[in-house]
Structure 1
Amino acid sequence: MTIGFKQCDLYSKAFATDGRSKEAKEAVNRLVSALDRFRANAEVLAEDVARTIPSLTDHSIHHLDALWTTASQIVGEEAVLNPLEAFVLGGAFLIHDLGNAICAYPNRMDDLAGNQWDDLMVKNLTLSLARRPTKKEISRPPNEVKDLVVLQRLRQEHANACVALATKGIHEIDGTYIPLIEDREISEQLGRLIGEIAASHHWSIEEVASKLDRYYSLTGMPLDWRVDALRIALILRCSDACQVDRRRAPPLRQAVLKPEAESRKHWIAQQRLNLPTVRRGSGVLEFRSNQPFTVDERESWQIAFDLVAKNAQKELVHSNELLKREGRREFAVRGIAGSESVAQFSRYVETEGWIPVDVSVQITDVANVVDRFGGQALYGENTSTPIRELIANAADAIRARRNVTTGGRGPSEGKIVVSLVEDGRGWVLEVVDDGIGMSQQVMTGPLLDFGRSFWTSDLALQEHPGLLASDFSPTGKFGIGFFSIFMIAESVSVTSYRYDRSQSEAVTIELEKGQLTPLLRRSTAREICPVGGTRISARLGEDPWTERGIVGKTSITSRENALASLVASIAPTIDVDIHVQVEGRKPVEAVVADDWIELSFPQLWSRLSDGRGGAMKATIPNSVRFDRNDRCLGRIAFHEPDYSTKCAVTVGGLMAGWLEGACTGVLLGTTELMSRDSAIPLVDGGLLADELKKLEDAESNLFDRPAVHFSAMMR
């Protein structure tokens, strides 16, 4: 009996034998036979996808077959593939999702382990627990978290498994392989190409263009049967993106697999979509719902919109643009009906009892948002706040570089330089670090995405595997600190490149207050950090040495020392060296990494108070140092009444607030506040009170003061 997909135009025309020579007919029959055996082998693996990840919508042989009919719609009736192209396309259809089966990996679960596994485990446990997990929790995660990590790792790796599956097959226990492509000559000559085309559905469109813009042939086949690898890859890409209808989510299969709640939303989204049709002569693929989405199904409707109107539309547009640019014939289908807006899409994919609205958040006026949310409303009127946020970002970059290069266990390498320079247009603040640096993708993505932190993004997991699971704990968590620079600056430029890449990859982004479109350009030699890292240059709106400036009026005569004192008070317990520089003169040391642990109390108090806290006697006999696991968590002293009774709390080495009470000094802390203007000490409150009581009892003149209480206040 003829299998249904073989009757579609794309397949039937490609493998038709009418009018061909005897040799060509034999070649066609050989390819059809090889593809049939290939399909039978792939069917066995495809069933293992459901066993491995039951929450996924259908990835069985039915999905792989259905790609032929979707591809026929996309390329159009007039498009014809030669038999060799059809074989390669059919093979890519069969292989492209088989990496979602655990049996596709020689060492099974062991092949999913490593840095990426650890990163995802930490990320998902952090989301589940609302805190960073302990090592015990990471090693013994709940089953639902482990299953989620398995799913995410397979989604990461499944495309990477394609080449091995096409060229080798399935790994046996005895070390041998069972080939999926049984025709050895075809496997040897075309296996890698089939695997690469299959894998390319997870590449960027730019990668497809650069890696697959070439032609292939097969020994013994007619010379005019050349494989246009680029066109075949784009057919696969668009077919896979558009094959998201009810064929992918059969109700009976859902009843058997019983996907959990979140996955069920995806099943419903696709169950409600009928097979798409092509508007004749319009170049538009039209999806319609077979029944309306109810109020309770509105999240599923949004998923359907994202799958069809966003993702499928994007792939069709980008693929046709690439075909046109490279001189190939464009597809008959060029877009999705209703993709212009949720309102238009809801005309085809209907709802009942509710009206879809576009709820995506866009920052169209960054300056206004910073002023109202990320500026004074969030940070107050403290003009040093932007410096604190830039230092925090720079320190995170240095800590990240330590962890990816030495596991965070090496010496405190890394340095931040804060400088002020005047040119013909006014004053410029620069903060330069030799940290991990940013790729162009990061600079044009998470950096400019207000409210999104790079460190917890999927892009961070891709670019720096193992970082999230290391001891690295970023101070910046909310993705808004960088934008605080517009509190004091009229324009900002950011220059960066990754520490492990060439200087030729350095790019600069320029942003102006009130300007919606940033400028991206290649960096100049002066802007580039010699060993990787980031340079941020901000043109200030006020003279930094005036009352409204970032340094302000000060009794310190040397501008270098005044800036150094300010920076040290902003980052009193930081684990990174910070130097300051004014007008290109010799840099001055503001902070040495972790030097606060050994400073005398008068020196420590002077740093914490930016030199404005008054004198403190040279020796303080009664003091306490809190240590845990070879880490100093704070230093406090009980002192005479005429001195300040405030104790600083820092987060990530940066000043976060003050505690009122009968002690002075500094405690390391933690905070979940975006403004970081108060914090909870890491030292247990009971332990802190006990130690203060001991100090109080040891004093000859007891003070009429309460024990420390934890009400924070910013200076």
Structure 2
Amino acid sequence: MTNASDQVSYEQSPLWRRTLGEIPGDCWATQRAALRAAYQQFRAQVAPLANEIVLSMPMFTDHSIAHIDALWDTASIVCGDDYPLNPAEAFVLGGAFLMHDLGMGLCAYPGGVEQVIADPAYPGLLAIETERLQHLEPAADSAEVAAVAQKQALVELLRRRHAERAPQLLRTPFIGSDGSDNYLLPDLSLRLDYGSMIGEIAESHWWDVGRLHELDRVQGSRPDHPPAWTVDRLKIACILRLADAAHIDSRRAPSYVHAFRRPSGVAEDHWVFQERLTRPQLDDDRLVYTSTRRFAGAEAPAWWLAYETIQMIDGELRRVDALCADLKRHRFRARSVAGADAPDRLAGYLQTDRWRPIDARIRVTDVDKVVGNLGGEKLYGKRPDVALRELVANASDATLARSAREGTPPGTVTVILAEEGGSWWLTVADQGIGMLPDTMVSALTDFGFSRWRSADSLTEYPELSGFQPTGRFGIGFFSTFMIADQVSVRSLALEEAARDTHVLEFANGVSVRPLLRAAERTEWLRQPGTVVRARLRADPRSADGLFRTTSQRLTYTECLHAMVLPMCALARVHIDVQGPDDPVPVRLVNADDWVTISDSELFERVYQRPDDSYGHRLSLEVYRQRFVERAEKIRDERGEVIGRAMMTSMWEGTGGAGWWVGCESHIYVGGLQSDTLRETMGVFVGSPLTADRLRSFPNANPEQLTGWAESQAERVSRSSRMGSTQRQVIGNLARALGAVAPRLPCALSNGTALDEAGLRGWLTGRDCVLLVGGGFYVHYRPDDTPWFVSYGGGELLIPQDCLVVSLYSEWLYPEEILPRPKDERFPDPDPQGTKWNARGWWSDSGNFGSVGIVVRTIAEMWNVDLGELLDLMEPMHLDEDGDDRCPVPLVGGGAERIEMVRLQRPDRGSAQVTAAVGG
């Protein structure tokens, strides 16, 4: 194994010796010696800083002066013995070697950590890292997660910024202990002549090869140098990037250092493969890497990382060679890497130990099918409206991102439906940040890639670090192909000229490779943004069309308005719509206006459609009036409105209309319709629970939502227009959100609905209670008394000691937001048993909701410990041992058997109970 003491000195490398080394009989020996001395002084200044990079990045392989020195040797191999490089170019190359990674150390920042984390991109990287760690370790301590995330975000920021830091470092004076200014390149003359060039070339090693043409210029020689000592920036930049990429041998990962640092994860794999790689050899025009020992099966991840790294080097060599050939530059001797074309070929050089490297990575063969399943109907169902929602969501995100970046009010998203040449076209245009061509490809062709959550985007647009997009999963755009067979995307990025507009065309869904091209002049966008244009597969007004209707009661324009208005009711941007009959776009929604418009206007926006039937309109009018009376605003911790809603039931709107209306409030994610919450009407701002955003839940925390439910329950209890049915429904709903709702019914006797006070009165003097969970229908007579009807249609005579209450209360909070309450004092002793167990039932399902109120009240009224009361519960059920259900008489004769749970006060016998239920 090669250790630091065995490494070849940079002064022994062929490239150094023939450029800056001493050459017998050299007529330019003085000038060459001056450059040599200046480089050595430069190196002496940089070495301490380079050696401290490890303090910032202890898990990374070597970036010290040893790595920098080794680049001279690696460059010699890549270039070959006859590559033309003069001493001035060698000095600049050496300077680029010294500077290219120096920004990876905190020592390169005079302000230390504070200077680095002041970078606008830091908050975004911190958020990404925190989210990643929380996903890996959901139960981890939040303080520990925060500490690790801060370190990782700092490392990532240093890594991303290090290249662009190089030019600044050369210009930055470091203050000595005596107060004097010290520069990394002390020679003022050389710093003025070559400093900016060195910094630019050092930075370029982080660029894509395609950008290197920006360096295609040659600087003339200094007056004190021979005319031939010109400096070719492009040549030097190519040498730097190839030498740096190719230096992956054991000099970068010494075994003895590995033993001290003990890296983990991917960092460990880097060390494992690099510490056993030998110095590359040159075989004709190929670099050859070999290993000093075999890779065991447990080291397979390290071997595969080596393979991927060698493929990267091979790609760099090939692309640089093509660039040099195109620009008529001298080509390097090394142009590829042996074994990079296939794993089994590389295994001939990096040998494995009793395992065969077969590239068995997961692949997607039928992309069209996968996208159709996961980005189309299999994910969203037969919901063509979702495709429009996703297009508007993407447009809204881009528009809001521009607003956040520029600090300006949000712009407009425009939806256009038009018939052209016998086809229907849907267009969604935004005033967002737009996309560069590469971004268009990555964002719109990489299934599952979320542009807004990528570190690259947050580094490019650090102002978006706190931006919360609607789209988070990178799949929404593909829903467009549920309704369209041809899609084109035009986009113009911020700070680009109109002529830089590009078009990405999907001529036949995703089954054919899309075409990226420069826009024709007639297609140029005059301001930044994106326009998506889709040819609809079916007539919008058809069973399979966008509107999912064959009715012709509404025109295409009316259908479009009726779809977009409720869909975008809480839009965070302006929403304009233009149908076939609209001469110009019509403003439907102003950004965030839902907070300030009247209750009546908000209700009409969400619930009313122009094709509603007469009866439906009458019922909606009742609800609209109730909404104006009872709707409340829900605010978050910052005081911002996150909901405007009321509790109600489907029974409330039937008075005088005889028309049923499904009562559901709408939950909006990113201002767009997502999910519903039953037995309520209004709107909530929510967060998605699933990738398709068809399941979501209000953003209100449990205290806020429960407080709203409690307030609504109190309002309902005071309303003279609410019957027992409505009160009971709303009481159950309020308790399903954690409220107590003491003045709303929690149970029914055979004569009335009972709230908490009524329940206490009913229990007074009773020593036996039968809890009835169902098995029949409950209706109400005109005098508001309950009427019990069996499933067979007969009227039941519910016994006097019965309380009708659901034994299994509903819990509306999703488990990931607020798990259903459990009473851990009473765990189920036999969770696998088939018999009903009162303690297990109470722990899991009975301790909350209406039945929880009933059981606790009984325990209190009977002065019985809750645990003792649970032990008194006697199930009267149909089970494998027989039928213990109670016979309940029917009006007109006969009986129906109904399941119950019997509770008998400890000091009473069972004979009285038998009499109470009629036998």
Q: Same fold (TM over 0.5)?
A: yes
Q: In the alignment, what sits opposite 1:654?
A: 672
Q: In the alignment, what sits opposite 2:684?
A: 667
The structure showing larger relative contact order (alpha-carbon pairs under 8 Å, at least 6 residues apart) is: 1
**Greater mean alpha carbon deviation, residues 239-248 or residues 566-575:** 566-575
Q: What amino acid sits opposite 1:158 in the alignment?
A: H
Instruction: Give CA-to-partner distance per residue, 1:132-173, whole Å, 9 cap, x none.
Output: x9xxx89x9733222212211211222122223335553447
Identity %: 32
Query: Within 2, Cα distance between the matches of 1:170 and 1:130?
Result: 42
In structure 2, the CA distance between the partners of 1:593 and 1:278, relative to structure 1 (3 Å rule), is same
In structure 2, the CA distance between the partners of 1:571 and 1:526, relative to structure 1 (3 Å rule), is farther
Aligned length: 696
The answer to whether 1:148 aligns with 2:148 is no
In structure 2, the CA distance between the partners of 1:360 and 1:481, relative to structure 1 (3 Å rule), is farther
Q: What amino acid sits opposite 1:226 in the alignment?
A: T
Query: Within 1, Cα distance between the matches of 2:572 and 2:522?
Result: 28
In structure 2, the CA distance between the partners of 1:268 and 1:203, relative to structure 1 (3 Å rule), is same
The answer to whether 1:455 aligns with 2:452 is yes
The answer to whether 1:202 aligns with 2:206 is yes
The answer to whether 1:619 aligns with 2:616 is no
Query: Within 1, Cα distance between the matches of 2:24 and 2:9?
Result: 24
**Greater mean alpha carbon deviation, residues 559-568 or residues 378-387:** 559-568
1:105 to 104, 109, 125: 109
Secondary structure (helix, strand or coil) at the match of 2:241 reads helix
Cα displacement (A) at 1:305:
2.1
Cα displacement (A) at 1:178:
1.4
Secondary structure (helix, strand or coil) at the match of 2:121 reads helix
Instruction: Give CA-to-partner distance per residue, 1:75-127, whole Å, 9 cap, x none.
Output: 11222422222222222212211122222223333432221122211221222
In structure 2, the CA distance between the partners of 1:595 and 1:40, relative to structure 1 (3 Å rule), is closer
In structure 2, the CA distance between the partners of 1:188 and 1:530, relative to structure 1 (3 Å rule), is closer
**RMSD of aligned Cα (Å):** 2.7
The answer to whether 1:242 aligns with 2:252 is no
Q: In the alignment, what sits opposite 2:912?
A: none
Query: Within 2, Cα distance between the matches of 1:664 and 1:540?
Result: 33
Instruction: Give CA-to-partner distance per residue, 1:654-713, whole Å, 9 cap, x none.
Output: 11122223x22222211141111111222325334323422331232232423165389x
User: Is the CA contact 2:297–2:354 (under 8 Å) kept in the aligned structure 1?
Assistant: yes
The answer to whether 1:368 aligns with 2:369 is yes
1:542 to 533, 538, 547: 538
The answer to whether 1:114 aligns with 2:132 is no
Query: Within 1, Cα distance between the matches of 2:287 and 2:590?
Result: 63
User: Is the CA contact 1:601–1:665 (under 8 Å) kept in the aligned structure 2?
Assistant: no
Instruction: Give CA-to-partner distance per residue, 1:302-353, whole Å, 9 cap, x none.
Output: 32222222x2112111111111111112111111112113333333223335
Instruction: Give matches, 1:296-335, under 5 Å.
Output: 296-309=298-311, 311-335=312-336
Q: In the alignment, what sits opposite 1:430?
A: 427
Q: In the alignment, what sits opposite 1:694?
A: 714
Query: Within 1, Cα distance between the matches of 2:541 and 2:233?
Result: 63
In structure 2, the CA distance between the partners of 1:373 and 1:164, relative to structure 1 (3 Å rule), is closer
**Greater mean alpha carbon deviation, residues 572-581 or residues 384-393:** 572-581
Query: Within 1, Cα distance between the matches of 2:386 and 2:468?
Result: 21
Query: Within 1, Cα distance between the matches of 2:176 and 2:160?
Result: 23
**Greater mean alpha carbon deviation, residues 602-611 or residues 222-231:** 602-611
Query: Within 2, Cα distance between the matches of 1:363 and 1:425?
Result: 36
Secondary structure (helix, strand or coil) at the match of 2:205 reads helix
Query: Within 1, Cα distance between the matches of 2:97 and 2:306?
Result: 23
Cα displacement (A) at 1:180:
2.7
Q: In the alignment, what sits opposite 2:290?
A: 288
Which 4+ residue blocks in structure 1 deviate beyond 6 angstroms? none
The answer to whether 1:277 aligns with 2:277 is no
In structure 2, the CA distance between the partners of 1:690 and 1:342, relative to structure 1 (3 Å rule), is farther
User: Is the CA contact 1:275–1:287 (under 8 Å) kept in the aligned structure 2?
Assistant: yes
Q: In the alignment, what sits opposite 1:533?
A: 529
Cα displacement (A) at 1:486:
0.6
Cα displacement (A) at 1:433:
0.9
**Greater mean alpha carbon deviation, residues 42-51 or residues 388-397:** 42-51
Q: In the alignment, what sits opposite 2:641?
A: 632
User: Is the CA contact 2:435–2:491 (under 8 Å) kept in the aligned structure 1?
Assistant: yes
User: Is the CA contact 1:494–1:510 (under 8 Å) kept in the aligned structure 2?
Assistant: yes
In structure 2, the CA distance between the partners of 1:447 and 1:72, relative to structure 1 (3 Å rule), is same
Instruction: Give CA-to-partner distance per residue, 1:518-567, whole Å, 9 cap, x none.
Output: 11122245544433111000011111122221023346534322201101
In structure 2, the CA distance between the partners of 1:373 and 1:3, relative to structure 1 (3 Å rule), is closer
User: Is the CA contact 1:447–1:454 (under 8 Å) kept in the aligned structure 2?
Assistant: no
User: Is the CA contact 1:215–1:226 (under 8 Å) kept in the aligned structure 2?
Assistant: yes
Q: In the alignment, what sits opposite 2:828?
A: none
In structure 2, the CA distance between the partners of 1:194 and 1:599, relative to structure 1 (3 Å rule), is closer
The answer to whether 1:60 aligns with 2:64 is yes
Q: What amino acid sits opposite 1:636 in the alignment?
A: A
Query: Within 2, Cα distance between the matches of 1:689 and 1:229?
Result: 70
Instruction: Give CA-to-partner distance per residue, 1:410-445, whole Å, 9 cap, x none.
Output: 54x311111111111411100011122112221122
Cα displacement (A) at 1:10:
1.6
Query: Within 2, Cα distance between the matches of 1:221 and 1:93?
Result: 22
Cα displacement (A) at 1:605:
4.5
Q: In the alignment, what sits opposite 1:51?
A: 55
**Greater mean alpha carbon deviation, residues 152-161 or residues 372-381:** 152-161
The answer to whether 1:591 aligns with 2:589 is yes
**Greater mean alpha carbon deviation, residues 544-553 or residues 596-605:** 596-605
Please list every run of 5 or more consecutive structure 2 residues that lacks an aligned counterpart in the other structure: 655-660, 737-811, 815-919
Secondary structure (helix, strand or coil) at the match of 1:417 reads strand
Q: What amino acid sits opposite 1:576 in the alignment?
A: V
In structure 2, the CA distance between the partners of 1:526 and 1:386, relative to structure 1 (3 Å rule), is farther
Q: In the alignment, what sits opposite 2:515?
A: 519
Q: In the alignment, what sits opposite 1:562?
A: 559
User: Is the CA contact 1:13–1:80 (under 8 Å) kept in the aligned structure 2?
Assistant: no
In structure 2, the CA distance between the partners of 1:314 and 1:694, relative to structure 1 (3 Å rule), is same
Query: Within 1, Cα distance between the matches of 2:554 and 2:22?
Result: 92
Secondary structure (helix, strand or coil) at the match of 1:332 reads coil
Query: Within 1, Cα distance between the matches of 2:676 and 2:365?
Result: 36
Query: Within 1, Cα distance between the matches of 2:179 and 2:476?
Result: 53
User: Is the CA contact 2:295–2:351 (under 8 Å) kept in the aligned structure 1?
Assistant: yes
Query: Within 1, Cα distance between the matches of 2:176 and 2:558?
Result: 69
Cα displacement (A) at 1:301:
2.3
1:608 to 606, 609, 625: 606
Instruction: Give matches, 1:483-498, under 5 Å.
Output: 483-498=478-493
Instruction: Give CA-to-partner distance per residue, 1:576-631, whole Å, 9 cap, x none.
Output: 22111123623233323233335555654554346277321241132222122232
TM-score when normalising by structure 1: 0.91
Secondary structure (helix, strand or coil) at the match of 1:492 reads strand
Q: In the alignment, what sits opposite 1:679?
A: 696
Cα displacement (A) at 1:54:
1.6
The answer to whether 1:582 aligns with 2:579 is yes
Secondary structure (helix, strand or coil) at the match of 1:14 reads coil
Query: Within 2, Cα distance between the matches of 1:143 and 1:635?
Result: 39
Query: Within 1, Cα distance between the matches of 2:494 and 2:242?
Result: 36
Q: In the alignment, what sits opposite 2:504?
A: 509
In structure 2, the CA distance between the partners of 1:176 and 1:110, relative to structure 1 (3 Å rule), is farther
Query: Within 2, Cα distance between the matches of 1:193 and 1:646?
Result: 66
Instruction: Give matches, 1:347-386, under 5 Å.
Output: 347-352=348-353, 354-358=355-359, 365-386=366-387
Q: In the alignment, what sits opposite 2:130?
A: 125
Query: Within 2, Cα distance between the matches of 1:44 and 1:351?
Result: 39
User: Is the CA contact 1:276–1:287 (under 8 Å) kept in the aligned structure 2?
Assistant: yes
User: Is the CA contact 1:417–1:432 (under 8 Å) kept in the aligned structure 2?
Assistant: yes
User: Is the CA contact 2:121–2:461 (under 8 Å) kept in the aligned structure 1?
Assistant: no
Query: Within 2, Cα distance between the matches of 1:177 and 1:363?
Result: 58
